[in-house]
Each structure stands twice: as C-alpha cells, then as structure tokens.
Amino acid sequence: MNPREISRRNFLKTLGTAAAVGTLTAVGCGGSDKPNNSAFNQNTNSSEQQPEPGWARYVSNDLPYQIDYNRGNHMGGDTFILSRSFIEGTASTKIIISAEPTQADNLQEYIKEHPELVNVTQQLNSQIDSAESLMIFDSGTEDDGSPIKSASIIFIGKGLGWQIALSDDPDKFDTNLPEFKKMASTFRFTN
C-alpha cells in the first residue's frame, strides 16, 4: 500500500505494511536528544490566535480539529502538499491527517492494541494540543519502486486514534520535516 494513500479507516494498517517494507523507528516528536526541544511542546497557538503571516487555518468538516498551514499548501479535505513534483516517479510531499475510533484511554493502551506499534522503541515525551504523542519514522518504497521516507505522529483525543503523516521523496524529507513539525504543533482539537 502506498503510504501517501492513508485513509481514516486504514492508517494503522498502512503503518504495519510500511513496517514490513521499510525500517520503522520511533523517537520523541522533537527529533532531538535535548529535552523540551520539540516544536510539539510549544503549545502557543490557541484557537483565538491568528495564524502567522503567510499561513492560513483549516478547520475540518469531517474530524474535530483545526490546523494552521503554509498558505497555498492545502490540497483539499485533510490533505496538504508542501511541494509538488512534476517528474514522473518522484514523490510529492504530502501531509495527511486521519483518525479512527478507539476504546483506548491513552496512547500506551492504543499502542498495545496495535501489534505493528508494540515493538517500536518509544519515547513519549511530547504533546499535540493536550495529547501525548509518538513520532514514527519510516523508509521504504512506493508501488512503482521509487524510494520514500515518512514520519507519522500518533496520538489519542476525542475518542479517536489520530495520525498526522508526512510522506516525501528521501532527498527532500529532511528539508520539509521542520515545516511538518511546525504545522503539527498548531493542531488543536475542536468541539
């Protein structure tokens, strides 16, 4: 399954497939060994604050959340594009937000319910809005054989298991990861 085609109903299945195809690693969401050096710990964007200049706010019609994004990068629905590629076989940088119903009360319970996440090294020290989160990095290949790198942030909120997923061409991944983290840091649950 192509990691860029994550849907609300199968995002954890996609993670399991990606783990079988590539290398799956989990780290604290900040991607740094330094404590509290995470964009996700900067819980500064309340729903009353306006997005920073050049950014816009998306409020989902389907899921209870809002997120800020670099203006012009909204593809539609819960999908955003950071960069586009016009070369066939080269990945575009996509961010997809998805959720599925869960009975888990916290992230540890949620991870135990999903075997594809249980054996991953975990550091649970960051938050998305008020929810504890885990970032998983993956590398593998797309259906056409081209390489791809991805990062997924997993968390629980509003009775849903959430994923904010970035998929990218390996050559652009490190360049686009900071914008992905910045965007994820603006995620807020709505009523």
Considering the four listed CATH numbers 3.65.10.10, 3.30.365.10, 3.30.470.20, 3.40.1000.10, the one that applies to the domain covering 57-189 is 3.40.1000.10
Q: What is the pTM of this model?
A: 0.72
145 CB-contact burial (10 Å; exposed 0-12 / middle 13-18 / buried 19+): exposed
* Residue 21, pLDDT score: 35
User: Residue 174 — φ and ψ, nearest 5°?
Assistant: -65, -30
The segment with the largest mean pLDDT, out of 9-23, 33-47, 142-156, is 142-156
Instruction: Please state the domain extents for the chain.
Output: 57-189
Is 31 a residue whose pLDDT tops 50?
no
What CA–CA distance (Å, rounded) separates 149 from 129? 25
- Identify the weakest region by mean pLDDT among 24-33, 65-74, 128-137, 157-166: 24-33
Element (H, E) at 101: strand 93-101
Q: What is the pLDDT of residues 62-108, one digit of tens each?
A: 999 999 998 878 888 898 987 665 555 444 788 999 999 999 998 88
Report the candidate in 52, 90, 58, 86 with the shortest Cα–Cα distance to residue 74.
58
What CA–CA distance (Å, rounded) separates 50 from 143? 40
